[in-house]
A and B are shown apart, each in its own frame.
Chain A
């Protein structure tokens, strides 16, 4: 178990090195640089441009810049944002709880709906429910996030007036200092009546939008995994004991069917964080996704590089945790 863990951790090192290189190059492949992006159409005197470039170290050879950046990362320094002049790590830490809160809610939405939908589809395979679930899943998987988000806003917020259009909170009615950074928790801590409800209302649409693709993937995976497991001999044994269908399917079959599903859920963290970039932009959600988009338009190299490295680190970490979880739910690996 420990050996497995150490090997698994060691395998992430090359991934990080490659990531470091790719983000550095990709960020610089975008035309323009931070200073041009800030001056815009006004233009800037060549001397002033050279001076600012020198200040930011952009006049140095690219390989030198990369080494400086890599050196900083190794020492845990993610650089300082060119625009806000605050450390990237600090900005990220301030914004990340918003993204995390949204992602967790989206994942809960996807798991809570996706697993039962997949199970029901598998049990009723070939039936109307099965076809309906699979059609909806395919549609959900293929739908562009931004379009789906706009549709939901138009229908739920504009037409029905059920949910707020954007943001995390009604800032006119409620204000409280962030304690944990999670609006659901902070609103409860603030003791302001209705604040928690408002926080929940703001979360609903973004969670649905962000959770749609993972929901589709989880439902499809659960269904196919369940179909395979339902044909296994041990499911027949469970039925031969005279157990209820709920226990046979929900315990004996599902426990085995979940093993691949857990892996898929882990892989969805990448999808979630990538989807968060779009979802946060649509719903003006003040998280790292929106911040990254803004950083791109500002050509804020350190913010982009640091932000992508941090998000990638989180994805890699979550996958590591999922691998550990996989071991926990699969006794064959645990005792292997």
Chain B
């Protein structure tokens, strides 16, 4: 593996709430190589967006971020002064958000918002910025780019808005794009288009892409590597093929079993229960209340991190070919 572009070790984000601190992200590790496509999957509330917002420095002041390492392109993001950090954010590191309609400022034209990042980061003349904006809109497949640049966001559809957001992210030729569920808010028919566009652009430009999603189907088709998050913790990370062939964490296995394509019986399997919140956090393994294989140990003792041969699974009894391991030792 090449020198990673983005390197995260033991990232923890906690929020001050009225009932005490809440760990939204708990010990997440991630490396992304230049040009690599990594997917982060997990249910709503599993902290996958928050972890990436922490990388971008976009969390509100109530968030406390700690990490053993949080580096991007040779810069230590934790040590960087805000002014220095702003030189990287938006230029080398861009983000695409979940809600395209509300992510564009209603008071400014599309053109203004696309040109703005270039004005902040690139040494281009007004005419060059305009030309680049037209070029970008063509790139993301928006017809009549000159006219669209003069449009206001409310005059665009959701799919169109997300194309504009992608154009904005690409404006300064970033090295890494973080796409936070870029298709979730869109119509099903548009979702495939936007995803195809994103993947085509990623392939063409060789930009690194972190794709946050809760759609395992999307992951199977696109990513080289997959991170599975559960309740703020990273429970497994594997190359995509390996993850689909032999999931090591019971949560990953349950997620895969819930895919309609993989369902064997007439009833689609589901994972009982919900992600624990602030009040009902289990003592041991956070997944233990919902886990098929959970034992007394799981409920009491926080699980260890397995080696990379077991997908870095955070589990007492990681699965191999669907069978829990180590059981006899622990019992």
Contacts and interface: CB of A to CB of B under 8 A. Distances in A.
Contacts of A332: 106, 152, 154
17 contacts: A234-B102, A234-B104, A236-B58, A236-B103, A237-B97, A237-B113, A240-B89, A240-B90, A241-B117, A241-B120, A242-B90, A243-B86, A243-B117, A244-B86, A252-B108, A331-B152, A332-B106
Given A242-B87, A335-B155, 12 more contacts: A236-B103, A237-B104, A237-B105, A237-B113, A238-B105, A239-B58, A241-B117, A241-B168, A242-B88, A243-B116, A256-B106, A332-B154
A237 B53 CA distance: 11
Interface in A226-266: 232-234, 236-244, 252, 255-256
Contacts of B316: none
Interface in B77-107: 85-91, 94-95, 97, 99, 102-107
B220 interface: no
A240 B154 contact: no
Interface in A322-336: 329-332, 335
B116 A335 contact: no
Contacts, number: 73
Contacts of B121: 242
B62 to A, nearest CB: 10
What 9 A-B pairs come out closest when comparing CB atoms? A242-B90, A241-B90, A242-B89, A234-B105, A242-B86, A233-B102, A241-B117, A233-B103, A331-B152
B56 interface: yes
B120 to A, nearest CB: 6
A95 B51 CA distance: 65
Contacts of A256: 105-107
Contacts of B86: 242-244
Contacts of B152: 331-332, 335
Contacts of A243: 86, 90, 116-117, 120
A236 B117 CA distance: 13
Interface in A111-133: none
A233 B99 CA distance: 8
Nearest to B116: A241
Interface string B4-33: 000000000000000000000000000000
Given A232-B102, A233-B102, A335-B155, A240 B107 contact: no
Nearest to A331: B152
A243 B116 CA distance: 9
B97 A233 contact: yes
A244 B87 CA distance: 10
Contacts of A236: 58, 97, 103
Nearest to A236: B58
Contacts of A252: 105, 108
A10 B95 CA distance: 49
Contact of B95 (A232, A240, A331, A335): A240
A255 B120 contact: no
A35 to B, nearest CB: 60
A315 to B, nearest CB: 28
B87 A255 contact: no
A254 to B, nearest CB: 10
Nearest to A336: B154
A255 B112 CA distance: 14
Interface centre among A238, A244, A256, A335 (most CB of B within 10 A): A238
Contacts of B56: 240
Contacts of A237: 97, 103-105, 113, 165, 168
A240 B91 contact: no
Contacts of B90: 240-243
